[in-house]
Amino acid sequence: MQVAYQGEPGAYSERAVRSLFPDAEPMPCETVRLVFSRVTSGGADHGVVPLENSQAGSVNETYDQLQHTSLLHIVGEVLVRIDHALLGVPGARLEEVHRAHSHWQALAQCEEFLSSMRIEPVPVHDTAGAARLIAQRGDREDAAIASVEAGAALGLTVLSERIQTEKENFTKFAAISTGAPDLGPADKTSLVMAVRDRPGSLLASLQPFAERDINLHKLESRPRRGKPFEYVFYVDLMAAADAPEVEDALAAVAEHTSLLRVLGSYRSAGEPV
């Protein structure tokens, strides 16, 4: 079984793959879009993509792909603890570093450290890829922000550990698939919806959940592609989609929405890995 993920060996997303699919062969991909493409085409059995970071927020690329990829659905999730380190070439010293390369979200998570050290952030496609880049360049003025494990695999030196602004830093990853792998009983459902353009529609579309005592964990708006200044809402609710109260609620919600789609019903994440 092959599972596609965005990044390179040693990336945090590879850790998510190994947690969700311990017996799988991880398939590295350069972008989130390519992960979706691999799974849709059958080149990979499943995919694992980042959904949200506890500090930097939602990964918009993933949500945009979910909105426009009807063949795939979320089948599971895992919470990964993120501890960023500044990694340099052997012999480098922290005071020599002028530039830090990493994924833009990792750079955002380490903004205070970089600012205090007057280090310029340089975005690249992946944390582990940044570590590989630094190992190849061999320049003492350049460093990477990635995991200690990624640095160790490439022979890099740890110049500083746990440099993220919020020390309790987590990223939620979703498993996506065209099928239904056995990742545990569903207790969570993700939706995307667009409400009708009339007063009270948003309230009316949320009221059915409250009336049935269904707990919402997320409500976030995103621009609706192809419709300027219109928005969709992403909703996470803590119940399975086939629960009678959820089915009743969705039937009521449909009366107030122009778009309503279940993105997946799956087992919610447990303790961080």
Which residues are registered as beta bridge partners of 174? 49, 77
Cβ burial, residue 61 (10 Å; 0-12/13-18/19+): middle
Contact by Cβ (8 Å): 88, 134: yes
Nearest CA among 57, 69, 67 for reference residue 224 = 67
- Select from 273, 21, 4 the least CA-distant residue to 147: 273
Instruction: Name the residue among 272, 216, 260 with its Cα closest to residue 239.
Output: 216
The catalytic position among 157, 171, 189, 257 is 171
The Cα–Cα gap between 106 and 96 comes to 21
Cα–Cα distance between 213 and 200 in angstroms, integer? 20
- The amino acid present at 200, given as its one-letter code, is G
171 is known as an active-site residue = yes
How many Cα neighbours within 13 Å face the side chain of 112? 9
82-93 burial, b at 16+ Cβ within 10 Å, e below that, comes to bebbbbbbeebe
Which residues have C-beta within 8 Å of that of residue 182, sequence separation ≥ 6?
none
C-alpha gyration radius of the chain: 20
Which DSSP state fits 258? E
Cα gap 174→251, rounded to integer Å = 26
Selected catalytic residue, list 113, 173, 209, 233: 173
- Tokens 């909105």 locate to 67
Active site members? 171, 173
